[in-house]
Chain A
Amino acid sequence: MIAKKLFAAIVLMAVAVGPAWAVQPNEMLKDPKLEGRARELSKDLRCLVCQNESIDDSDADLAHDLRVLLRQRLQAGDTDAQAKQYLVDRYGDYVLLKPPFKTSTLVLWLGPFAFLLVGAGIAAAYYRRRTATAVAADPAVAPLSEAESRRLAALLEDDKKS
């Protein structure tokens, strides 16, 4: 266990070293279309031993292996979704930088909507309360008297006719 942790620490240190070199020329596929798909896909896949880096950005050995693996799948005729699923089957959802929508990510995906709803709710409550208290409390905007109401109705009628 301790050895495993130590190993993980060493791997992390090795990863933290220097700038990322990412994709190497000898990894790249001859077919530019296939290579383009591989690049797009690798941006969404996480280098599992790095801090939040995609395999497209990372220079870790594991990222290299995953890039090669991904390209092998694409060459074998996998669709984008199949190639991604292939990696998820082996490494779990952790490999996806955009986590799938499921129970454990419910809060993550619904959170932004909840924030927006709360914000909109506060704003709406604000507008409602404002109008209510204004009419109730402010003598300057007291409700119309009967005479005023009649006069308003007449004016509105006039407006419609013209």
Chain B
Amino acid sequence: MIPETGHFALILALMVALVQATVPMIGASRGDRAWMDLARPAAFAQFALVAIAFGALVTCYVTSDFSVLNVAQNSHTDKPLLYKVSGVWGNHEGSMLLWVFILGLYGMAVAAAGGNLPPALRARALAIQAMIAIGFILFILLTSNPFARLDPAPFNGNGLNPLLQDPGLAFHPPMLYLGYVGFSMAFSFAIAALIEGRVDAAWARWVRPWSLLAWCSLTLGIGLGSWWAYYTLGWGGWWYWDPVENASFMPWLAGTALLHSSIVVEKRDTLKAWTILLAIITFSLSLLGTFLVRSGVLTSVHSFASDPARGVFVLALLVVVTGGSLTLFAFRASALKGGGLFAPISREGSLLLNNVLMSTGAGTVLLGTLYPLFTDALNLGKVSVGPPFFNSVFLPLMVPMVVTMAIGPLLQWKRGDLAGALSRLKVAFAATVAVAVATWLLAGGAAGPLWAAGGLGLAAWLFVGTLIEWAERVRLGRCSFGEFLQRCRHLPRSAYGMTITHAGLALVIVGITGSTAWKTEHIQVMHPGQTVDVAGYQVTLDGTQDNIPGPNYTALRATFTARKDGKLIAVMNPEKRQYTMPPRPTTDAAIHTNLIGDLYVVIGDPDGAGGFVTRLYYNPLVPWIFLGTVIMVGGGLVSLTDRRYRVGAPLRTARAVAAAARA
């Protein structure tokens, strides 16, 4: 009964979406307020119905209802509750339902918080949201129904891939989808603006918080995925340029460009057509990312083609969304007259440069990810595009960008003074040189990796440059302490957001450089009692214990002790687990971190003579990657609390004043 309720609610949600997509749109073109205002209750109803559907599927998972095919294929009674719930989105059908659920959530948020939006813009944006919902709900109902029954119901389910049974990965898909779907807001507003033929500073101000929220979620989602890869895949890597990772990285790059260009629209009323185009591209890449991961096209073009129902639908949806919006853009973009002028050397100019580099990056990742599929499909032979390709293309793009990141915020709007900005960055330049030289000397002089010195120098440039910009804005050391505090208080939150996020990126660069340049690795067979030296730590294998029962696995657990100069630093217990359903082995690395670096210990197979294969790593500065990512997200959230973006604030104040006057 519960799955049927969910199925029925989803069909009803489709009906509501059909109404929401048409009536307010017609109302907006006719100027009929009643028709336009239908969008808001429709958005609420659509969310409620999708929430019922989603809740029904979650209930099926939690109660282990194996008469539902999807549950039987992806769950098991022995799974801990967290992974029963996360199993909902650990598969194609369920993840599509999560996607629609989050889409409904955003739609409802606009309906609830968009009180100060012009009615026509709100009606059109919500109608376009509903059109996206129609596409996705139809996709679920026609090709990927999660509520399909199974008769007879099996005694137990097939279980979830044990690699996915991990807290990091349990929350990874919802965060990613909050990001992907969040960019649908920018998309809907962009299309609505194209229909109206008007983009102005107010429009940018309405769109920006949604893009910012999406960007924060996507950044956190990518960070969670990377963190998960770091501690579960068992050899301490954190980014592989895997197509699945690239799928989430493309919208991130485009979305970052969108965030920056929408600043220009808001402050200077220009770069409008470009911003609209970026909104379309970002959401298209989000769609592409969703489907690349879920459709199986990456595994093999042929397996994709052999089950064409989903594939054709997916392609059709992509063509309609991307093609349709780009066609609209081609017709209407010329109507978007730009306002403010600016010279190449200016704040706008630096943001435009950021946009060009970010978009080139996104295009490169897209090309590299899809190229093997193209050559395979066109019979041009099989091509591998792996990390060495991406690294060699990405580095030359990102270095000038990071260099500009310190300079751009110091330039004035319209026409900047490059020499002046550079002279204000003298301290940053000195720090760069000092850090680079110190790194080079500490890493062993001529023998040390020169590029690592460059990497840390670049991070210092960005970090100090960012702090200089903040210090100048609050006149640190150039005015009385009281005035300084006053300025700190009055500096807009969005300015703090930029400072924090850019500084966070500097930490990420430190982490990337350090872990790539100075990672040490020891692979050997160890017998209990044996000690190996790892980057100044003495790591001893004390012993192992086999057949330790877990909820749905048995584990081989090893006990290592790490000492430094005879002093005990940590007792570490890596595990090698054998899951029962599905029967698969996983590794559970033990990590000891002191925030400068991670000691990373993995236990492997026995060698048959009392010894075990062990892998001991020292991963210097890796914690900085994740710390930096969290700081970047934090900066985004700080920016989100900026007074200007509190949607509806001015209107509500006016109403409150009126109410007070009446009382």
Chain A interface residues (CB < 8 Å from chain B): 12, 17-25, 28, 43-44, 46, 51-54, 57, 92-99, 104-105, 107-108, 111-112, 115-116, 119-120, 122-123, 126-127, 130-131, 134
Contacts and interface: CB of A to CB of B under 8 A. Distances in A.
Nearest to B396: A112
Contacts of A122: 274, 356
Given A20-B235, A107-B367, A107-B371, A119 B389 contact: no
Contacts of B143: none
A99 B385 contact: yes
Given A19-B233, A108-B368, A52 B384 contact: yes
B585 interface: yes
B320 to A, nearest CB: 25
A97 B585 contact: no
A130 B344 CA distance: 11
Contact of B360 (A22, A43, A112, A126): A112
Q: Which secondary structure characterizes the binding site on chain B?
A: mixed
Interface of B: 163, 232-235, 237, 240-243, 274, 298-299, 338, 341-344, 352-353, 355-357, 359-360, 363-364, 367-368, 371, 375, 380-389, 392-393, 397, 523-525, 584-587, 604-605, 613
A130 B232 CA distance: 53
A44 B384 CA distance: 10
A18 B341 contact: no
A119 to B, nearest CB: 4
A54 B386 contact: yes
Given A115-B359, A119-B359, A25 B584 contact: no
Given A19-B232, A20-B234, A115-B364, A52 B393 contact: no
Nearest to A39: B521
B384 A112 contact: no
Contact of B299 (A25, A51, A54, A93): A51
Given A51-B242, A115-B364, A116-B356, 15 more contacts: A17-B584, A21-B234, A51-B299, A57-B237, A93-B384, A94-B381, A96-B384, A98-B386, A107-B371, A108-B383, A111-B367, A115-B363, A120-B356, A126-B274, A130-B341
Contacts of B299: 12, 51
A24 B384 contact: no
19 contacts: A18-B584, A21-B605, A23-B523, A43-B388, A46-B384, A46-B386, A52-B386, A57-B237, A93-B381, A97-B385, A97-B386, A98-B386, A108-B371, A108-B383, A111-B363, A123-B344, A123-B353, A130-B342, A131-B341
B367 A116 contact: no
Contacts of A112: 360, 363-364, 367, 393, 397
A93 B383 contact: yes
Contacts of A94: 381-384
Given A43-B387, A116-B356, A119-B359, A108 B367 contact: yes
A54 B235 CA distance: 13
